[in-house]
């Protein structure tokens, strides 16, 4: 993999990162777009230290709600995974609405409106497809026309959502899904958008971790050059029969080189050899663990560590491995994160290889090939 900030940096597309976390989505977007991240926005200070370590030339804009986008350097690609707490199926499903953490999507939309990037990449949890959304009323609409339900004033419940999955809501007068609100806002901002749902298991990871990815591009005559670097491998999701977890359509500043950031991957559907030692250690998980070891190119660390009173807890290094990250990406002692902070960062992050596959699939659909 080509190192960042090389002699071609000035010609590469520029990425702006929102809700950046440890940079999992940025790794994928840099890979797919052959681009470089020039600034980021992360309010969690310990996690921001991780991102700043890996992208030392990228300034942190801080709180997205306090940024004046008219003063921010323009970018070609804007990416981000806005908070999922209120759309996650394991949360209270408060939805995409003003005052919720997931409602911070509105600030990402504001950034898109001002910056007008050629491409927008969004990632979120499966609940984006089912959680409710409340859109602001249009001019001239009264309270009785706004999307709401009779049981919860000003709110919408999943049972009241439109039944046709292709009709995501064209006005504020009807309840709609969170995904519909996001896609509708992108349309209002004059972007074409496509989405795809993909489980991490489709790329060979030993866990499902289903995520929704949205790729949008500005509707102009000559969009920014979308290109693959020479020798860049083609990526595709694993083949599977129809089932619950299948993919769903819809200025140059040199610095020391760093380790390869996304493992080569591949082999999600290939058979693996499991020896007796692996069977003894991992039992029924042996095949999944061995396959992921081969894909990421390193052995699995111990899955748990013992706390006081011999109570085991998940090992941050093991979770980091599960996410397909290079060793020490989050857990390096130089970041000075506690074990709980490491686990929280990893739990909220994006699996880069999964995002590479999803965004690559969406890009192929957005810009079909006309021949080599």
Between the alpha carbon of residue 336 and those of residues 46, 308, 342, 343, the distances in Å are 8, 21, 9, 13
Q: What is the tens place of the pLDDT at every residue in 139-159?
A: 444 443 334 343 333 343 333
- Is residue 262 a contact partner of residue 31, using CB atoms and an 8 Å limit? yes
Pick from 288, 298, 292, 295: which is nearest to 326 by CA? 298
Pick from 12, 26, 67: which is nearest to 352 by CA? 26
What are the phi and psi torsion angles at 151 (to 5°)? -80, -35
Q: What is the tens place of the pLDDT at every residue in 285-339?
A: 899 999 999 999 999 999 988 766 667 888 999 999 999 999 999 999 999 999 9
The low-confidence residues of the chain, meaning pLDDT below 70, are 1-10, 85-102, 135-175, 220-271, 307-310, 367-372
Instruction: Delimit the domains of the chain by residue range.
Output: 9-251+351-366, 276-347
Q: Give the whole-angstrom CA distance, residue 324 versus residue 317.
A: 11
Q: What is the 3-state secondary structure (H, E, C) of the chain?
A: CCCCCCCCHHHCEEEEEECCCCCHHHHHHHHHHCEEEEEEECCCHHHHHHHHHHCCCCCECCCHHHCCHHHCCCCCEEEECCCCCCCCCCCCCCCECCCCCHHHHHHHHHHHHHHCCCEEEEEEEHHHHCCEECCCCCCCCCHHHCCCCCCCCCCCCHHHCCCCCCCCCCCCCCCEEHHHHHHHHHHHCCEEEEEEEECHHHHCCCCCCCEEEEEEEECCCCCCCCCCCCCCCCCCCCCCCCCCCCCECCCCCCCCCCCCCCCCCCCCCCCCCCCHHHHHHHHHHHHHHHHHHHHHCCCCCCCEEECHHHCEEECHHHHHHHCCCCCCCCCCHHHCCCHHHHHHHHHCCCCHHHHHHHHHHHHHHHCCCCCC
Between the alpha carbon of residue 134 and those of residues 81, 226, 306, the distances in Å are 19, 34, 45
Q: Give the whole-angstrom CA distance, residue 162 versus residue 6.
A: 50
pTM of the model: 0.77
Domain 9-251+351-366 maps to which CATH number in 3.40.50.261, 3.40.50.150, 3.30.2000.10, 1.20.140.10?
Answer: 3.40.50.150
Virtual CA dihedral for 204, 245, 120, 122, nearest 10 degrees?
A: -100
Pairing of strands 312-314, 304-306: antiparallel
- Is residue 87 a contact partner of residue 102, using CB atoms and an 8 Å limit? yes
Q: Give the whole-angstrom CA distance, residue 337 versus residue 275.
A: 36
Beta bridge partners of residue 218, listed in sequence order:
191
Between the alpha carbon of residue 205 and those of residues 200, 209, 262, 301, 343, the distances in Å are 5, 9, 14, 15, 18
CB count in 10 Å sphere of residue 327: 14
């Amino acid at each position: 993999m080509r190192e960042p900030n090389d002699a071609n940096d000035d010609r590469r597309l520029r990425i702006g990162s929102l809700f950046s976390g440890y940079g999992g989505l940025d790794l994928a977007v840099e890979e797919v777009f052959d681009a470089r991240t020039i600034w980021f926005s992360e309010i969690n200070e310990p996690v921001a230290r991780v991102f700043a370590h890996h992208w030392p030339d990228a300034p942190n804009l801080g709180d997205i709600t306090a940024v004046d986008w008219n003063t921010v350097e323009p970018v070609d690609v804007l990416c981000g995974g806005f908070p999922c707490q209120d759309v996650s199926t394991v949360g209270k499903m408060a939805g995409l609405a003003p005052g919720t953490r997931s409602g911070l999507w509105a600030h990402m939309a504001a950034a898109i409106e001002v910056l007008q990037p050629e491409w927008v990449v969004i990632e979120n949890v499966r609940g984006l497809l089912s959680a409710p959304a409340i859109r602001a009323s249009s001019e001239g609409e009264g309270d009785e026309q706004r999307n709401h339900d009779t049981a919860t004033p000003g709110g919408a419940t999943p049972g009241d959502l439109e039944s046709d999955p292709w009709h995501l809501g064209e006005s504020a007068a009807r309840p709609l899904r969170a995904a519909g609100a996001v896609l509708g806002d992108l349309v209002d901002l004059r972007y074409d958008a496509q989405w795809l749902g993909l489980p991490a298991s489709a790329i060979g990871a030993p866990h499902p971790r289903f995520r929704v990815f949205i790729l949008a591009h500005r509707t102009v005559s000559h969009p920014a050059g979308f290109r693959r670097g020479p020798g860049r491998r083609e990526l595709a999701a694993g083949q599977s029969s129809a089932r619950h977890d299948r993919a769903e359509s819809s200025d140059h500043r040199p610095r020391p080189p760093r380790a390869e950031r996304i493992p080569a991957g591949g082999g999600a559907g290939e058979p693996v050899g499991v020896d007796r030692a692996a069977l003894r250690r991992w039992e029924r998980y042996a095949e999944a663990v061995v396959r992921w070891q081969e894909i990421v190119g390193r052995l699995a660390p111990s899955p748990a560590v013992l706390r006081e009173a011999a109570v085991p807890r998940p090992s941050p290094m093991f979770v980091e491995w599960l996410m397909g990250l290079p060793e020490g990406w989050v857990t390096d002692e130089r970041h000075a994160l506690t074990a709980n902070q490491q686990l929280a960062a990893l739990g909220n992050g994006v699996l880069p290889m999964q995002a590479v596959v999803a965004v690559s699939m969406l890009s192929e659909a957005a810009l079909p090939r006309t021949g080599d």
